[in-house]
Amino acid sequence: MTSQILTISSQGQITVPKTIRDRIGIKPGAKIVVYLKKDLQGDIVVLEPKEKSWAKKLAGSGKNLWGNSDAYLKNERKSWGED
């Protein structure tokens, strides 16, 4: 895991180090999502690039959620016994 110590300015701003910006692929003007995540040790602040399209981010995430649906449907249709 990459970690660095950041200083918060008097205006509440931080600078994300170049090594981290490069690694997560953010450019000047990019939007960042900030959220808190619960951990055994307490709250963790998470920064991640804002997705341009949530549809693209979620695409394929349900793949095989229900197993092999094509095989299931084939077997079901076969059980109908339409000879």
**pLDDT score of 37:** 92
Asked if 33 contacts 48 with a C-beta cutoff of 8 angstroms, the reply is yes
Is 36's pLDDT higher than 90?
A: yes
Going through 8-83 in order, the beta strands assigned E by DSSP cover 32-39, 42-49
Is 8's pLDDT higher than 90?
A: yes
Q: How much of the chain, in percent, has pLDDT values that exceed 70?
A: 92
Residue 39: DSSP 8-state: E
**pLDDT score of 12:** 93
Bridge partner residues of 48 (DSSP): 33
For residues 67 and 80, the model is more confident at 80
In three-state secondary structure terms, 12 is coil
In three-state secondary structure terms, 49 is strand
- Report field, pTM of the whole predicted structure over 0.75: no
Residue 72 banded pLDDT, cuts 50, 70, 90: confident
What average pLDDT does the structure give for the chain?
A: 84
d(CA 12, CA 5): 15
